[in-house]
Amino acid sequence: MNELIKELIKQVGTDVSGKWMNVDNVEKFANLIIQECNKLNNQVLIQSNLGHYMVIERIMKKYQDHFGVDNE
């Protein structure tokens, strides 16, 4: 789990032990993830002068890098 995910969990008001999983916390966490994704979308769209497919591919790569997810 990368530091950004840990920070988002802290923003929900819980710890990273896994005991924070209730409906309210999961919804808040999901909203924070969506906010982060929207920030990344805007960054890529502003910086890109590429075709739609290339923009989508760049955004997907940005998500993986931002959240520390390996593409399997």
**Distance between CA atoms of 7 and 25, rounded to whole angstroms?**
14
In-domain check, residue 31: yes
Q: Which DSSP string corresponds to 11-70?
A: HHTS-TTSTT-SHHHHHHHHHHHHHHHHHHHHHHHHH--S-HHHHHHHHHHHHHHHHT--
In-domain check, residue 45: yes
Domain encompassing residue 22 = 3-67
Give me the phi and psi of 41, to 5 degrees please.
-55, -50
pLDDT tens-digit readout, 24-61: 777 788 788 888 888 887 787 777 776 777 788 888 88
pTM of the predicted model over 0.75: no
Number of structural domains the chain divides into: 1
In-domain check, residue 72: no
